[in-house]
Chain A
Amino acid sequence: MKHPQKPVRETDTKIRPTGWQILCIALFLFYMLLPIVSTYAFSVATRWDRTILPEGYTLEFYIRAFQTSYFTITLRNSLILSVATIVVSLIVIVPTVYWVHTRLIGLKPWLDVLMILPFGIPTVVLALALVQVYNFPPIARSPILLIGAVVVYSMPFMYRPVSNALQAIDALTLTEAGQILGANVFQVLSKIIIPNILPGILSGTLLVFSTVFAEYTLTSLIVGAGFKTFPLLLVEYTRINGNIAAAFSVVSFTIAWLFSILILWGGSKGQNASAETIQAR
């Protein structure tokens, strides 16, 4: 039986968002964006304490900000801290997660719990504990202690993406395939595993970087002025000159945006970044 093809109609209507949805999202956006936009505006405003919009615009504060004595030093320190943390994290965590995934799979639930632990320890408590225990030179109040603290603090952020990646590629099966073909453990790791979990490692690295770059609590309580990082400089200037502090905030925000975009761009190659933020917590 054949039926003549009738001309086909477009019958699915385009669904539109409802009024309350639009209102909800609009208010949400307002709340989220106003502080940020205001900070950007404040950093270029000449005077803004009597009116709703700035009275004038200037780049003066950025120039002064970049010229402050500690600007380059703190940026450098923040960079050092972030990179050091990443390196230590990678060395400590990646092989460990791999061993657990492949040889000690029974430990995985425990490892998961261990990685939730840092979220249960408020940064001040961690700082107090570390300062109390390591109160002897040369570690006391040193950048080394700080790095240790920050690695603990950022462990979940490196762990989650790497663990997910290992699971996604079925690391155990790949390892066995590699071994049957004659590779030893290190070859398997370097030639098979790591190349395949690079997106996960990248995601973890970026997450750790942006988290550590903005870290204030541990830094100020453990080393303080001994190793001034960018966030410390920012807090200092909130009490000295608001406009310059705003300029620093803009730098801080902008770096955060850039890293978020990088993470998402890298994460779109297989993983869901926002799910990781939640999972990481």
Chain B
Amino acid sequence: MMRRSKRKTGQTSDWMRLLPFFLFCLAFEVVPILFLMHGSVIDKTTSQFTLQHYLDVNRPLYINSFLNSIKLSGITAIVGVIFGTFIGYAIYRWPSKRVQHILITLSDVTTNFAGAPLAFAFVVILGMNGIITQFLLQYFHYELYPTFSIYSFSGLIVAYIYFQLPLMVLLILPAFAGIKKEWRESAQSLGANTFQFWRYIGIPVLTPSLIAGVTLLFANAFGAYATAYTLVQAKLSIVTLQIGYMIAGEIRKDPGVGMAMAVLSLVIMGLSIGIYQAATIRARRWSKS
């Protein structure tokens, strides 16, 4: 765009117009988060700086919740990325544009289904009297329970993957589209077969998107609450549930630990999103060249 002759932009009046927005963000985002960070290092009774709250997080219950959250998010992220990539490729190469469109729409809808209705749906199919449970019992004489329970860690994995998969599909499709036909032809004219193309060019170019996928799915799972609340509640301890309990009841007891955990969560999420952004920028740069 041509530089226009000296325009009066950036004046005070312009910044004033942004005031409502800034105030809103300040009130509902910035101040609360700062308050959290502040509260996590202040002793409520003495108003002194302290790291005790963070040390308190080291208790088994809280440490376990972090480990569980990280495991859950990590597993569902990796499984989601692997299968999501293959499914995404299958969709990308599907000859009918109409079918592609339908599948993309489906992914769009199902990735937003996380929450109580989804959890409940899984109870219907994999609960103690669930459809698949019955099916395995009647046709394969295999008792799913008690080895597996939908109200457990593995149950959560199955439920989480439901909305992780389509998210990866939606993310990887543009990445496949970004692999230019000319690269393939170029590689072929230089003597590469299909395997060599993917190994030296295809997958390396996809890698930033794959990393973006892992981090996005990780963050997505880490922050999820409602699905877990409906399925496991007290049976399994994950970070979001723990913080939830603290809001609901025990806040008066010791808000410090809750805030410390919240801040730690923010750090973990921040890292994930940060890596996601960096990976996405790299992916976009390559697909533009």
Q: Do A and B come from one complex?
A: yes
Interface residues of A (CB under 8 A from B): 14-18, 20-21, 24-25, 28-29, 31-32, 34-36, 38-39, 42, 48-52, 91-93, 95-96, 99-100, 103-107, 114, 116-133, 148-149, 151-152, 176, 210-211, 214, 216-217, 221, 224, 231, 234-235, 238, 242, 245-246, 248-249, 252-253, 256-257, 260, 264, 273-275, 277-278, 281
Contact with A along B221-262 (1 / 0, CB 8 A): 011011001100000000010011011100100010011001
Bound together, the chains give a CA A157 to CA B116 distance in angstroms of: 21
Chain A proximity of B180: nearest CB distance (Å): 19
**What would 6 more interface pairs be, CB under 8 Å, given A128-B247, A132-B32, A231-B115?**
A52-B138, A104-B18, A121-B266, A151-B24, A217-B229, A274-B104
Given A31-B165, A221-B247, also A38-B117 (CB < 8 A): no
Question: In the complex the two chains form, is A125's CB within 8 Å of B36's CB?
Answer: yes
User: Which residues from chain B contact A118 at a C-beta distance below 8 Å?
Assistant: 29
User: Which residues from chain B contact A50 at a C-beta distance below 8 Å?
Assistant: 129, 134
Given A25-B91, A130-B32, A238-B120, also A100-B18 (CB < 8 A): yes
Question: Does B52 sit at the interface, judged by CB under 8 A?
Answer: no
Question: In the complex the two chains form, is B36's CB within 8 Å of A129's CB?
Answer: yes
Question: In the complex the two chains form, is B110's CB within 8 Å of A32's CB?
Answer: yes
User: Which residues from chain A contact B119 at a C-beta distance below 8 Å?
Assistant: 238
Number of A-B contacts (CB under 8 A): 242
Question: Does B210 sit at the interface, judged by CB under 8 A?
Answer: no
Given A38, A246, A252, A257, which contacts B109 in the complex, CB threshold below 8 Å?
Answer: A257
* A interface majority secondary structure: helix
Question: In the complex the two chains form, is A129's CB within 8 Å of B262's CB?
Answer: yes
User: Which residues from chain B contact A264 at a C-beta distance below 8 Å?
Assistant: 105, 108
Which chain B residues (72-125) contact chain A, with CB distance < 8 Å?
86-87, 90-91, 93-95, 103-113, 115-125
Closest residue of A by beta carbon distance from B246: A128
Range for the number of chain B residues in contact with chain A: 35 or more
Interface residues of B (CB under 8 A from A): 4, 9-11, 14-15, 17-18, 20-21, 24-25, 27-29, 31-33, 35-36, 39, 86-87, 90-91, 93-95, 103-113, 115-125, 129, 131, 134-135, 138, 162, 165-167, 170-171, 173-174, 216, 219-220, 222-223, 225-226, 229-230, 240, 243-244, 246-248, 251, 255, 258-259, 262, 265-266, 269-270, 272-273, 277
Bound together, the chains give a CA A224 to CA B105 distance in angstroms of: 33
* B interface majority secondary structure: helix
Those 4 A-B pairs whose CB atoms lie nearest each other, nearest first:
A129-B32, A122-B223, A35-B121, A49-B129
Question: In the complex the two chains form, is A274's CB within 8 Å of B247's CB?
Answer: no
Chain B proximity of A36: nearest CB distance (Å): 6
Question: In the complex the two chains form, is A249's CB within 8 Å of B117's CB?
Answer: yes
Sample (6) of A-B pairs whose CB atoms are under 8 Å apart: A17-B95, A52-B135, A107-B18, A131-B247, A246-B120, A278-B170
Given A20, A224, A277, which contacts B90 in the complex, CB threshold below 8 Å?
Answer: A20
Given A114-B25, A116-B273, A246-B124, also A133-B259 (CB < 8 A): no
Closest residue of A by beta carbon distance from B113: A256
Chain B proximity of A159: nearest CB distance (Å): 11
